[in-house]
Amino acid sequence: MFCEKAHVLIKELSRNRDALPPYNTDLLNEINTEVKQLITQNQEDAQISEDSRVMNHASYLPTVKIRHAAIKRNIRCILAYHYNRLKCLRNMRWQFGSILPPDVKSNLSQSEIEWFSKYSSNLVQYMRSIGDEGINLAVDLKPPKSLYIEVRCLTDYGQFELNDGSVLLLKENSRHYLPRSECEELIRQGVLEHVV
């Protein structure tokens, strides 16, 4: 049946709305092969009907139209698959910063890794172009209720220098009262945890 593999591809993506599933190269290759076969069959039928110039060539028309609709559906499914994966990657850039966690990065294709890298560099370039010193748009994605927050260190991070020049030693399970703007990046990376 036409488009079954494309349907499986979309179902796989919709099952994993919160996480990015591994890039399914095998299924995409099968869909591409199906599209190429359908195009070849349509070209052959069109050539037969053009060569015969008989009244019965109209019998090929419904078959060609059905195959063409299947081709368009497969292509739409592939585009939807890639669009949703890139949309998820774009959201992860804002969530995790420019460094993806290893478990997420292992699920990406090489072209997605390149896209993420270019998106990150374009975003950084744009943030540097705003104002005299630039502005970090990834900080304070939600408006802060207070300028300082209490955080707990989840791992042995080592020394961390604040904007005022003071140096803190971040050890596992140590608690600190820090400016939100300076520790939000470490919270996203999983080094610190906001204590509520």
Classify residue 42: in a domain, yes or no: yes
Classify residue 47: in a domain, yes or no: yes
Task: Assess contact for 152 and 192: CB atoms under 8 A.
Answer: yes
What are the helix (H) ranges across 97-109?
102-105
Provide the β-strand partners of residue 152: 175, 193
Q: pLDDT tens for residues 145-162?
A: 788 899 999 999 999 998
Classify residue 88: in a domain, yes or no: yes
How many residues comprise the chain?
196
Q: How many CB atoms lie within 10 A of CB 172?
A: 10
Q: pLDDT tens for residues 73-97?
A: 999 999 999 999 999 999 999 888 8
Classify residue 140: in a domain, yes or no: no
The pLDDT, as a whole number, for residue 55 is 52
Coil, strand or helix at 27 = helix
Provide the β-strand partners of residue 158: 170
Query: What range does the domain containing 183 cover?
Result: 148-194
Classify residue 17: in a domain, yes or no: yes
**Model confidence band, residue 173 (pLDDT cutoffs 50, 70, 90):** very high
Q: pLDDT tens for residues 62-74?
A: 888 999 999 999 9
Q: Are residues 108 and 172 in the same domain?
A: no
* pLDDT > 90? residue 61: no
What are 117's two structure tokens? 């890298």
Task: Please state the domain count of the chain.
Answer: 2
Q: pLDDT tens for residues 119-147?
A: 999 999 998 898 777 777 776 667 777 88
